[in-house]
Amino acid sequence: MPTTDHHAPGGRRRTLIVSASMGAGHDTVAAELARRAAARGHQVHVVDVLRLLPYGLGPGLRRGYQASVRHLPWVYAGVYGAFLRGGPGRRPSGVPLARLAGDRLTELVDRLRVDVVVPVFHLAAQLTGHLRERGGLRVPSVVFLLDFAVHRQWLHPGNDRYLCLTDAAAEEVRRFLAVPVVTTGPVVAPAFRAPVPGAARWRERFAGRAPGRPPVLLSAGAWGAASRPAATARLLAAGGYLPVVLCGRNERLLAQLAREPAALPLGWVDDMPGLLAACYALVDNAAGQTAVQALATGLPVIGHRPLPGHGADGVRRMADLGLSELAPTGPALLAALARLREGTAQRRIRVTRGRALFRRDALDCVTDL
């Protein structure tokens, strides 16, 4: 593949990170990679691949995905099965849609004199792989694959390198692509892996709301997409816990949970390190960025009522790797929480496994090309 080398002066690099405003996880990873690059003196830009699509396709895709995961999960499950999950037989490719953004991406790369492109979303990985394979992108593309379960739309042989969360994900990429693959672990901000002063304020709030009840965080993601969160909150309350529900930016869900007297619903939270450090466990439904932030903080994760498609596959993969426990029923959830009491061997093992996931700085594997 042809490559153009025009590094910025002084050994600095010009890096373009291609994210997607699908929830908050991809943008959170992009922002942290950008912060690390800027701290090293590199020039860094972040672009939303949905904004590169013409004809208003990007916002339409986002609205459709958001509506399906919130209100029609069976529709998204069908789309995931047809387009993303691997399996026998010919499957549709993401390249035809992705290449619609090709001209805008290459124009941006040329204008910014970029040295390396880093996709952190699967449609972006299809786009860069397609362009690299055909010579339309003359700088390397390093894909940061931020899912525990690898689906086929992340994979394109034209990309130069893949960075993965786990060895299992890396091996799966190697099964399909003859490109270099590195296990780096997840990308989270430093505050999640350091003593957190904000935790004390959250503990005071929890103790004032429900003295003696361990706070269990129930995550519905940035869009507030969850299956029967009120029922799960009532189950946790009946089990002696304080259900703390992350509603993201879903005002309707926040209002619904506000009617549950035993629950503490929260809208968008800026102090996630403090909140996670103050809780007893995370009940997760997507194996996304909130889950890896919890692992970095030392908070055990339990998968329950996962979102269809990539959420369910990711939750199962985390459990298979011993990073979490899958609780398919209400009684199983309460039993899993009981096994995680402070000071128990199981809690220590889970915390140790979660923190060991963070191996190396993914940015090192971008800047050494």
Residue-level pLDDT at 4: 47
- Local confidence band at 1 (pLDDT 50, 70, 90 cut-offs): very low
Residue 72: give its domain's CATH number: 3.40.50.2300
- Tens of pLDDT, residue by residue over 70-125, are 878 778 788 778 777 766 555 567 788 888 999 999 999 999 999 999 999 999 99
| Domain assignment of residue 366, yes or no | no
The answer on 352 and 305 residing in a single domain is yes
The answer on 225 and 158 residing in a single domain is no
Q: How much is the average pLDDT of 13-35?
A: 96
pTM for the predicted model, two decimal places = 0.93
What domain range is 255 assigned to? 190-356
Cross-sheet strand order for the sheet of 181-183: 142-145, 161-164, 181-183
Which of 135, 151, 183 terminates a domain? The answer is 183
Relative orientation angle of helices 345-356 and 289-297, to the nearest 10 degrees: 120
Residue-level pLDDT at 88: 56
Residue 264 in 3-state DSSP? strand
The answer on 96 and 217 residing in a single domain is no
* Cα separation of the two ends of the chain: 14
Which of 129, 160, 183 terminates a domain? The answer is 183
| Domain assignment of residue 4, yes or no | no
Residue-level pLDDT at 5: 45
Residue 349: give its domain's CATH number: 3.40.50.2000
Which of 183, 200, 218 terminates a domain? The answer is 183
| Domain assignment of residue 364, yes or no | no
The answer on 302 and 163 residing in a single domain is no
The answer on 133 and 220 residing in a single domain is no
| Domain assignment of residue 78, yes or no | yes
- Give the total number of structural domains in the chain: 2
| Domain assignment of residue 367, yes or no | no
CB atoms within 10 A of CB 85: 16
